[in-house]
Amino acid sequence: MPSSAFRDPSPRPLPAPLAPDAASLTSELGPYLKPEDIAQVEEAFCFSKAAHEGQFRRSGEPYIEHPVAVATILAQWHLDPQALIAALLHDVVEDTSITNAEIGEKFGKPVADLVDGVSKLDRIEFKTEAHAQAENFRKMLLAMARDVRVILIKLADRLHNMRTLGAMEPEKRQRIARETLEIYAPIANRLGLNSIYQELDDLAFRHLYPNRYRVLAKAVQAARGNRRELVGKVQEAIKDRLAHCKIEATVTGREKHLYSIYRKMQEKSLPFSEVFDIYGFRVIVKDVPTCYLALGSLHSLYKPIPGKFKDYIAIPKANGYQSLHSTLFGPFGTPIEVQIRTQDMHKIAEAGVASHWLYKTSDATLNEVQQKTHQWLQSLLEIQSESGDSVEFLEHIKVDLFPDEVYVFTPKGKIMALPKGATVIDFAYAVHTELGNRCVAARINHELMPLHAELRNGDQVEILTAADARPSPSWLSYVVTGKARAHIRHVLKTMHFEESAALGERLLEQALRLLEPGSHEVEEASWDRLLRDTGVKSRREILADIGLGKRLGIVVARHLLSLGEPAPGERRPLGSITIRGSEGIAVQFAKCCRPIPGDPIIGFVSKDQGLIIHTHDCPQIKQFRADPDKWLDVEWDPDTKKLFDVNIKIVVAHQRGVLATVASEIAEAGSSIDKINMEEEDGSAYATILFTIQVENRMHLARIMRSLRKIPEVVRLSRVKG
């Protein structure tokens, strides 16, 4: 959401407010910045204050209070002076006449780049608000891939806006809250910024579902009183048991945040009274071995619930989070969740990627967190390169932001983290793009499995490939990662383009033969002139446009031959195009009539879909007859190698085993069954079976139908078109 929506750019007739100062910010800077750095930040504050003079937020406060609040949040993470200066200036370019070049000149190029990464694209015209929003996110996420400070500034900006969202109109509150829940909170979670993630979730929940929030908050408040005694008792018992085992630890009780409770109620269809684990306990110890010792001692205190133990120390989450999680049967059978971690793990759990600035240390775990973050940010660049537009890019990113994960192993023992529901194809693309493009099957735990097999925690996965394999459009229905989806779509678009260009070349040759029967060679100068006149970059694009129905071959041929426009009423029939059946996705066979070799056929050039083949008697083609330029005469190649789907309808006497008899006869006739649907009425002596079978041509279909008519139980048999 544009942060400028939170302020009114025109001065309001308000009483002159007290001039805000930077005291809250400078008090945060003193402990970790040098005096000269603080002086730079104060200079940026004065610059921003002067630029925003006369501007007020919707709440009525001077606008400068917003950038100061954003910079203060970043200062709490100990971010460097460049990030703090960029935070103070992040709305200057959008909301005032100051340019990014001026910021670069005064505060340096790194600051200008950060401001540019956070700034929106308000000056560009977009078709819809969704396109504008998606393009803004794309710009921000790609800037973040180059410098993670961009998203830290943006998250701090969004956090302060959400804290002050009450001043907005209800409709805007809803839109901003939904955007926060769908994009910003998941990004904070993905980067390990746990406290920001939880606060954004709860603030968005409060504004998106105010009544649900109010009722749930009241219920938690009441439960807090009822369960306080239980929580105190459990906390003391945990401390005593750890002390008895001579384990030094800090034990704290914590309450689940409201949106987390609400989501659990939604996912498991539970009333609030059945959500017992709204309280959890955190045990912080000195090192990793002590984590496991503490776990053992707590399992001897309260029995663990089977299947409710997760070891995120051995296998960290994708954002670097580490802890032991175990759910135990507490007093009176109440489930309680315990998290056990070291102090360093706790720092990462709370600050995530910001821990790099907050805790200046050479700790290997922090370096690993940075590496994981870097890998994810690089995957954004990869998805961007494969995505067609900003809306598609945002769709892929949203898929990757939701954090439920499964952990699987490569044959060499490397751990791969994938989203819940990920399939073999997701795994293949996660390992390497080319492996994904060439995969045909997999061995999961040494058993042969199909590509759509869903992966589970602990699976060992080996991908099987073939040199001539390539992605199928059906893959898009069962992949869940943005990376896999983006790569598949990119390959399909490339295949579609190449096959459309090949079809377009045949259509253009046909048109050229019609206009100049003797020769259809076109001079280079004619192609150059066409490209210049149409503004298209290459000859292949023109041919692909013809194949996709975006341009008419006869019009392009006239342009190439400099024949000008046809005379009114002038129309000569084009010659026929030969259909081999192996043209790929540029030539489609209509599902309404399912033509097969031997059927009289006609071709319709459909925009963006290419050439669609119908039978001559297909009822659907009547509505398209009004546009004769889009119809082509087509004929079958006598030597087609492809198998074609055809529908047949069989009425049979209702007897035991008749379906097996019919299916066996179809197989004996050299055909495979793609689909079966059986319709029967209660008490009727007959049943209707609809088959989709694969045949080579009409003669093959005729042989199958002759064989089926010999079955005594078959009463009626027909081919179905439509």
As annotated, the active-site residues are 94-95
Q: Which residues pair with 462 in a beta bridge?
A: 443
Alpha-carbon span 400 to 419, nearest angstrom: 7
What kind and span of H or E run contains 417? strand 415-419
Alpha-carbon span 238 to 244, nearest angstrom: 10
The contacts of residue 432 (CB under 8 Å, 6+ apart) are: none
Local structure of 566: helix, strand or coil: coil
Q: In what order do the strands lie in the sheet with 686-695?
A: 672-680, 686-695, 644-653, 714-720
352: Cα separation from own chain's centroid: 22
Query: Which residue is it, tokens 């097999």?
Result: 453
Both tokens of residue 270?
A: 């539970």
Alpha-carbon span 309 to 306, nearest angstrom: 7
The 8-class DSSP code of residue 476 comes to: G
Both tokens of residue 40?
A: 């730079």
489 contacts 476 by C-beta, under 8 angstroms: yes
By DSSP bridging, strand 56-57 and strand 335-342 are unpaired
Alpha-carbon span 569 to 588, nearest angstrom: 31
Q: What are phi and psi of 692, to 5 degrees?
A: -110, 115
As separate numbers, helices (DSSP H) first and strands (DSSP E) second, the chain gives 27, 21
The 8-class DSSP code of residue 11 comes to: P
Alpha-carbon span 93 to 95, nearest angstrom: 6
Residues of the chain by 3-state class (helix, strand, coil), percent to 5: 50, 20, 30
The 8-class DSSP code of residue 605 comes to: E
Q: Residue 477 to residues 386, 620, 697: CA-CA distances in angstroms?
A: 18, 28, 30
Q: What are phi and psi of 252, to 5 degrees?
A: -130, 150
Q: Residue 367 to residues 362, 364, 377, 414: CA-CA distances in angstroms?
A: 7, 5, 15, 18
574 contacts 510 by C-beta, under 8 angstroms: yes
Alpha-carbon span 646 to 694, nearest angstrom: 6
Angle at the Cα of 425 from the Cα atoms of 421 and 430, rounded to 5 degrees: 90
HEC per residue, 647-698: EEEEEEECCCCHHHHHHHHHHHCCCEEEEEEEEECCCCCEEEEEEEEEECCH
By DSSP bridging, strand 447-449 and strand 439-444 are antiparallel
Q: Residue 682 to residues 394, 556, 650, 679, 687: CA-CA distances in angstroms?
A: 51, 61, 18, 10, 10
Both tokens of residue 382?
A: 């990869």
First to last CA, the chain: 47
483 contacts 416 by C-beta, under 8 angstroms: no
The 8-class DSSP code of residue 415 comes to: E
Alpha-carbon span 492 to 495, nearest angstrom: 5
639 contacts 674 by C-beta, under 8 angstroms: no
Amino acid (1-letter code) at residue 165:
L
